[in-house]
Amino acid sequence: MRSTWLLSPALAATALALPSQLTFSSPANGLGQLDLGSALKDAWNGIQRSQPIGWLEEGVREFSTRVQDSGISYELIQHADFPAHSLRMKQPKGLCDSSSKSYSGYLDIAEDAHLFYWFFESRSKHPEKDPLVLWINGGPGCSSTTGLLFELGPCAVANGGLNTTYNPHSWTESANVIFLDSPVQVGYSYGSKTVSNSQDTAEDIYSFLQLFYEKFPKFQNVDFHVSGESYAGTYLPNIASVIHNHNKKKPTPSSLTIPLKTVLIGNGLTDAYTQFASVPDWSCNKPKTPGANPYGPIFDESTCSSIRGKVPTCQRLTEFCYNNPSRFTCVPATLSCWQVAGPIQQSGLNPYDIRKKCDRDGEDGPLCYKQMQWIETYMNQPDVRKELGASPDRTFESCNMQVNQAFQFQGDVSHNTAALIPPLLEDGIRFLIYAGSADFMCNSKGNLQWTLAMQWSQDKKYNKAKLLPFKSNGKRAGSTQAVTLDGGAGLLRYLEIDDAGHMVPYDQPEASLDMFTRWIRNESFE
């Protein structure tokens, strides 16, 4: 059931980033704050008084209407189970990839909080038969548009940000993909609400998915996967845990079951205790020795000695945070552990790909990739902004360092996120942990080590599994280890991709698409 009415004026229209300096800073306020105006507020309140949530016929939970803002027309979707949330949606024309439909807009999670998304249907003839995937970039504070326009989306930013080119290795070759900017103040997302922890982020994303499925019921019967990289190693276990727990114990009797099947974490930061401790061996040992990177030592002996000496304090404080999680226990752990990784900033190397130099003050920019600056140029073009339905008051940034610091100074990164994974594995939610071999920030060896340290019912079988060559398109592309119970892709699989950095789909697009497709289809990696 849909009712049509017009409100006029209408609703007013974030790669793990290591802080360059550890200083306290408050998130910016006043970024595109919502101003409905007194007349609209009175009208809206009147509608709510005269038509409460019970207005909908029995069994009907969603309605849509059209709203206008700054010359932009949206479809507005609302849901009886989430009265504080609404979904604004439009179909951008002439942007990115004409071979599949796309939709963009905002999830309004509160009067002062609005999350931007851009959704692409798959390139197949029958997208309703293909899996649905949510992609979240890292940061915290970095936009998922980085994944879209730089790595795995259907187009790639080009020509200094003036336009885009077709990406033949997009993950939309195999799936429908949602790119979501979360939390508030990341990318095009705007509002004054402050979110500085992964748990709140996960709850907002659950609400987004409920509204998304109401708009696109054709995807309710296909597998759903959550994916991302970098700080998504912290986000995704929280998101998967919230989805799975709400599936088992629904927030309301009519809440939809989200068909979550797998989680894909690329070069993620998931277990700070184990991963920061892996930095000295990865950075300082000779190739082919335990824990070393394959390209050679990157620090001198004095630096190596210094960072090895910092690991015990990092681990002691992180363990205390794990056992007694709070801002007061976890912030000291965060600050201590970042000191282990700190020397990379003075090395002159790209921390996301140590095979390359980084000229932060020159062409490469502060994040070591000139394309990050191109993305900002492209996303701030007036015609692109209008077509996507972006808030006219919001300037797009690839990464918001104030959001990053807000998370850092809540100690969010030092929570034991890996502890959320075993209950999901036990209930059959599959995990793929993949990492590029040249990434310093969330190195591949540390990712392997935390999967080996995780305690669950199949840990002995996983630990005894051999690290085998991974072949893609007939060629060696890396190494992999898994516990496989059904002959498919595996319940828990670790995969190191050769000759790739932090952004695996950018460095190895063919192998990345092959890995992704086999995983979501639960096909063998042997």
137-152 pLDDT, tens digit per residue, is 877 888 899 999 999 9
Burial class of residue 429 in the structure, from the number of CB atoms within 10 Å of its CB (0-12 exposed, 13-18 middle, 19+ buried):
buried
Rounded CA separation 384/469 (Å): 43
The strand pairing partners of 63, in sequence order, are: 78
Clarify whether 246 is annotated catalytic.
no
Question: Is 230 considered catalytic here?
Answer: yes
Q: Which of 78, 210, 138 is nearest to 441 (CA)?
A: 138
Q: Which of 34-43, 371-380, 482-491 has the lowest mean pLDDT?
A: 34-43
Q: Is residue 256 over pLDDT 50?
A: yes
Residue 36 pLDDT more than 60?
no
**pLDDT score for 69:** 64
∠ Cα 434 120 508 (to 5°): 30
pLDDT at 328 over 50: yes
pLDDT tens, 446-496?
A: 999 999 999 999 999 999 999 999 999 999 999 999 999 878 999 999 999
Of 181, 364, 439, 507, the catalytic one is 439
Q: Which residues contact 522 (CB under 8 A, 6 or more apart)?
A: 430, 486, 488, 489
As a whole number of angstroms, the distance between CA 70 and CA 378 comes to 20
pLDDT of residue 48 exceeding 80, the answer is: no
Omega into 52 within 30° of 0, i.e. cis? no
Q: Distance between CA atoms of 380 and 441, rounded to whole angstroms?
A: 28
Confidence of residue 12 (pLDDT cuts 50, 70, 90): very low
In this predicted structure, the answer to whether residue 388 has a pLDDT above a threshold of 90 is yes
List the alpha helices (DSSP H) in 393-443. 401-408, 421-426
End-to-end CA distance of the chain: 49
**What is the residue whose two structure tokens read 């999967």?**
451
- The answer to whether residue 323 scores a pLDDT higher than 50 is yes
Question: Looking at 114, 246, 415, 502, which residue is catalytic?
Answer: 502
- For the chain, how long is the longest CA-to-CA vector? 73
How far CA 462 is from CA of 102, 238, 352, 478, 495, in Å, comes to 40, 23, 28, 18, 13
For residue 75, what are the β-bridge partners? 66, 89
The answer to whether residues 379 and 188 touch, using CB atoms and an 8 Å cutoff, is yes
CA distance 436 to 445: 10
Could you tell me the CA-to-CA distances from 426 to 110, 154, 456, 491, 492 in Å, in that order? 35, 34, 8, 9, 11
359 an active-site residue? no
The stretch 56-65 carries a mean pLDDT of 46
For 373, the 3-state DSSP assignment is: helix
DSSP-based three-state secondary structure for 386: helix
CA gap 446, 290 in Å, rounded: 11
The per-type count for the chain, helices as H runs and strands as E runs, is 16, 19
Q: Which among 100, 102, 227, 230 is annotated as catalytic?
A: 230
**CB contact at 8 A, 447 and 493:** no
Q: How confident is the model at residue 60 (pLDDT cuts 50, 70, 90)?
A: very low
**Mean pLDDT in residue range 69-78:** 79
Tokens of 54: 């019970």
- Name the pLDDT band for 370 (thresholds 50, 70, 90): very high
Give the pLDDT confidence score for residue 63 in this predicted structure: 56
User: What is the average per-residue pLDDT within 24-50?
Assistant: 30
In the chain, the domains with their CATH numbers are: 6-274+374-406+413-520 (3.40.50.1820)
Report the relative pairing of strands 430-436 and 224-229 from DSSP bridges.
unpaired
